[in-house]
Amino acid sequence: MKFLDLCKVYVRSGSGGNGCISFRREKFIEYGGPDGGDGGKGGSVWAEAVDGLNTLIDFRYQQHWFAQNGQGGMGRARTGKDGDDIILRVPVGTEILDEDEETVVADLTELGQRVLLAKGGNGGWGNLHFKTSTNQAPRRANPGQECIERTLWLRLKLIADVGLVGLPNAGKSTFLAATSNARPKIADYPFTTLHPNLGVVGVDNTEFVVADIPGLIEGAHEGRGLGDIFLGHVERSAVLLHLIDGTSGTLIEDYQTICDELDAYGEGLSEKPRVTVLNKIDALDDEEREFLRDELHAAGAEGVMLMSGASKEGVTEVLRALRPHVEARREADRPRDPEDEEEGGAWHP
């Protein structure tokens, strides 16, 4: 299935049905009075986060989503049928933006979360509603309420606990393949990964989701390479795993390039907890490993770890370093029980 994380949709709610002007007509009843029914309510447009989806490709082939109009009222005080609602089923983590692509209408981050995008129009009143003691034969009825049309953007931000960042060929896909059942494409040329991949990894009886995004290069925030359009998929992560190619001849420049691109992107990525890892150490001897680690420390990297995704050396230690950040985020996001809250607003898990 092709990956798609941004698309435009056009939604329209249903119009309300018109009220009916009608009078009772029966044999031997000369003045039956009004009996026009009300119009039915138009259908609404909803968006719902569902399980089992990780792409917006369905909305590439169907961009127009129109709810059903309400049926008009009828004689004998019969109300028209309400229009059926329509539901846009989107993956968890989908942001719904207004036409300007900046105003956030809704952010569906939980399974089953629903949001109303366009409310259906109310049905108009029939002439039965306007009967009074002084106007016993009203010849007026209300039209149904007009529909609502909107142009919206759907943007998917994958929900992952750990986000992989690094230059092309830093070993991100190899790490994901070595620690999970994901099978991303792996090759010895840059930009092997063209779209994000997710994998579930486990360490010490704890599982969390890792997102591998295409590599960044210098000037990605200006659109170079694949740009920074995929960085949105690591915005929700609890921690970033920064992989650096230990066989690169420009180690410090590689490290600084990623730091600069995260700063240029914004959205709080540069402030996120980060685990920096010197990768591909299977091609280095002990002396080279220590020298390169010291070089990264001097450049400002803290707590640099050593790892090889190919030989799996140091992989478990890296996963254990990621685990506390993931658990801290989950604990912070856990709903609070009012019974556990003490006086003064303090809360203790």
pLDDT single digits (tens) 124-166: 999 999 999 899 889 999 999 999 999 999 998 888 889 888 8
- The response to whether 16 counts as a known ligand-binding position is no
pLDDT tens readout for residues 61-117: 899 999 999 999 999 999 999 999 999 999 998 999 999 988 999 999 888 999 999
Edge-first strand listing for the sheet containing 305-306: 197-203, 206-212, 162-165, 239-245, 274-279, 305-306
- The response to whether 8 counts as a known ligand-binding position is no
What pLDDT does 237 receive? 87
- The response to whether 109 counts as a known ligand-binding position is no
- The response to whether 198 counts as a known ligand-binding position is no
Are residues 130 and 60 part of one domain?
yes
- The response to whether 223 counts as a known ligand-binding position is no
Measured distance CA(186)–CA(171) in Å, rounded: 9
90 or 198, which is more confident?
Answer: 90
Give the amino acid at 265: Y
9 or 312, which is more confident?
Answer: 9
- The response to whether 21 counts as a known ligand-binding position is no
Terminal CA-CA length for the chain: 42
Are residues 116 and 56 part of one domain?
yes
What pLDDT does 130 receive? 92
What pLDDT does 338 receive? 55
Residue 347 belongs to some domain of the structure = no
Q: What's the structural domain count of the chain?
A: 2
- pLDDT category, 268, cuts 50, 70, 90? confident
Are residues 284 and 148 part of one domain?
no
331 or 154, which is more confident?
Answer: 154
pLDDT tens readout for residues 36-48: 999 999 999 999 9
pLDDT(199) > 70: yes
- The response to whether 69 counts as a known ligand-binding position is no
Map tokens 């142009």 to a residue.
151
Residue 348 belongs to some domain of the structure = no
- The response to whether 215 counts as a known ligand-binding position is yes
Mean pLDDT of the chain: 86
Main-chain phi, psi angles of 78, to 5 degrees: -95, 125
pLDDT(346) > 50: no
Are residues 274 and 253 part of one domain?
yes
Residue of 267, 259, 93, 294 whose CA lies nearest to 165: 259
Residue 230 belongs to some domain of the structure = yes
Residue 105 belongs to some domain of the structure = yes
Are residues 301 and 194 part of one domain?
yes
Main-chain phi, psi angles of 94, to 5 degrees: -85, 130
What pLDDT does 80 receive? 94
- The response to whether 308 counts as a known ligand-binding position is yes
- The response to whether 88 counts as a known ligand-binding position is no
- The response to whether 103 counts as a known ligand-binding position is no
Give the domain range for residue 296: 162-333
- The response to whether 47 counts as a known ligand-binding position is no
Buried/exposed 173-199: b ≥16 CB within 10 Å, e otherwise = bbbbbbbbebebebeeeeebbebbbbb
3-class SS of residue 198: strand
- The response to whether 193 counts as a known ligand-binding position is yes
Are residues 178 and 82 part of one domain?
no
3-class SS of residue 139: coil
- The response to whether 169 counts as a known ligand-binding position is yes
Are residues 196 and 221 part of one domain?
yes
Residue 123 belongs to some domain of the structure = yes
Main-chain phi, psi angles of 2, to 5 degrees: -70, 140
Are residues 36 and 129 part of one domain?
yes
| Contact yes or no for 50/89 (Cβ under 8 A) | yes
- The response to whether 279 counts as a known ligand-binding position is yes
Mean pLDDT within 227-248: 84
CATH number at residue 67: 2.70.210.12
- The response to whether 214 counts as a known ligand-binding position is yes
